Homo-oligomer: A and B are copies of this chain.
C-alpha cells in the first residue's frame, strides 16, 4: 500500500491532537462572547421593560441551523453517490469540517471581528460565517475526492481556511462588495482553489474519479438526501447574514424562486441530452442546485422575482451542459480532474452569481426601488455615495478567481504532492483505510 498504515496511525492522530490543543490555546487568548451572549454587554430589556427579542440570536439562529444541516448532511451525503467514498472518508470529512469551523472562527475573527481589546467577540454570526468557510473547504474537496490522504487534506484545509479569510476580507472590506450568500467568497473561490489543487495532482494514469456506473440505487438515494437538504435550505443560506428585515426576507424569496426554475430547466436539459430522453441522476443531484449558488450575491438585492427565475433558467442550462461536455473536456484536455463536477455546480454558477450581482448593484442607485433604504442594502454608499457598485462587485469575482487559482496551485504544490516518491492511486487514498470489508457495497 502506498500509505504505510503505521505512518497514518501515528501521523494523523498526532497532527489532529496537536491542532486541537492549538485551538484551545488560541481560543483562550482571543475568543470572548459577543454583546448578544455576554451577560454584561447584552441589553436584555427593551424600552418598555419587557425582556426583548431584539437579540440578534433570534434573527439568525434558525437560519444558522439550516446552514449547519447543509454543511454536514447536505455536502456530506451529496458525496455518498461515490461507492468508493466509504466510512473513513465520511469520518475524515467530519473531522476536517469540525476542525474547519474552529480555525475559521479564529481566522475570520482576526481579519474582521478583532475588537479594540484584541479579542474576537463570537456569537451566532460567527458560527454562520465559520460554517460558510467550511462549505468552501468541502467544495474544494469535491475536486480532489479520492486523490489525497487524510493528512494531506488536513494541511489543505489549514491553508484554504486562511486564504478564504484573506480573500473574504479583500472582497468585503477594501472592495466593500455585497456577497451575503457567498457567490464569490464561498463558491467561486472554493471551486477554483479545488480545481487548481486537482490540476497539480493530475496523473495521466489516474482513471476518472466519478465512475459512470459507480453509483448504486441506494447510494443515489442517499445522495438525493444531500441534494434535497441543500436545495430546501438554500434560501436560509443566502439570507443568513443579510441585513435583518426586508433584505433577509428578499434573499429568501429570490432564492426560493430561482431554485424552482433551475430544477425545471435541469430536468428538461437532462432529458434532452440523453438520446433516449432519460434523466442523468448526476444532473438532478447537482445542476438543480446551481441556481442557489448564482443567487448568492444578488439575493438580498431588488433583483425582482422574475429576475430570479431568469437566473435560475440560465444557470440550469449552463450547469447541465457543463456536466455533459465541459467536465470530460477539462479532464482530457486541461488535465483537470473534477471528481464531483464542482466547476458546474459552484464555479460557473458562482461567476454567473457575481455578474448578476454586479449588474443588479450597478442599477440600484438609479432604480429608485430602494427609496431611502438604499444604504441598508449597500452600506458602502453611506461612506462613498459616488461608488460605482457594479465595477467593484465585478472586481470581487475576479479577485476570488485569482486567489483561488494561485492559492490552490501553491497549496497543491507544497502540501498535497508529497509523498512525491510514490503517488497515491485513487483506490488507496480515500478508501485505503476502510474500517470493514463491507464498505465497498
Contacts and interface: CB of A to CB of B under 8 A. Distances in A.
Interface string A260-287: 1111110111111011111111001000
Given A91-B279, A278-B433, A305-B27, A98 B263 contact: yes
Contacts of A270: 91
A47 B236 CA distance: 28
Interface string A31-60: 111001111101010111011111101110
B101 A260 contact: yes
Interface in A60-102: 61-62, 65-66, 68-69, 72-73, 76-77, 80, 86-88, 90-92, 94-95, 97-99, 101-102
Interface stretch (A8-16, A187-195, A395-403): A8-16
A161 interface: no
Contacts of A309: 20, 23-24, 27, 102
Given A246-B39, A434-B278, A441-B218, A65 B68 contact: no
A275 B97 CA distance: 25
Contacts of A31: 304-306
**How many copies, total?**
3
Interface stretch (A248-256, A413-421, A422-430): A248-256
A310 interface: yes
Interface in A226-242: 228-229, 231-233, 235-236
Nearest to A259: B98
A155 interface: no
Contacts of A247: 39
Interface stretch (A166-174, A197-205, A367-375): A367-375
Nearest to A276: B5
A312 to B, nearest CB: 9
Q: Which of A261, A305, A306 has the most CB of B within 10 A?
A: A305
Given A221-B80, A232-B65, A98 B55 contact: no
A249 B44 contact: no
A175 interface: no
A124 interface: yes
Nearest to A434: B278
Nearest to A272: B13
A116 interface: no
A436 interface: yes
A95 to B, nearest CB: 4
A123 interface: yes
Contacts of A44: 245-246, 373, 376
Contacts of A221: 80, 90, 222
B268 A12 contact: yes
A100 to B, nearest CB: 9
Nearest to A86: B217
A376 to B, nearest CB: 7
Given A46-B50, A53-B53, A268 B13 contact: yes
Given A23-B261, A276-B433, A305 B122 contact: yes
Q: Which of A50, A59, A217, A259 has the most CB of B within 10 A?
A: A217
Given A65-B62, A305-B122, A267 B91 contact: yes
B9 A371 contact: no
Given A17-B265, A217-B439, A244 B40 contact: no
A370 B40 contact: yes
Given A28-B306, A92-B267, 14 more contacts: A12-B277, A13-B271, A27-B257, A28-B304, A31-B304, A39-B376, A57-B245, A65-B236, A73-B225, A76-B228, A91-B281, A225-B225, A276-B433, A279-B433
12 contacts: A24-B310, A25-B306, A44-B246, A52-B245, A55-B249, A68-B232, A73-B229, A73-B232, A124-B252, A215-B436, A217-B441, A218-B218
Nearest first, the 9 A-B pairs at minimum CB distance are: A9-B277, A39-B373, A98-B263, A27-B306, A28-B306, A16-B268, A95-B267, A13-B268, A5-B276
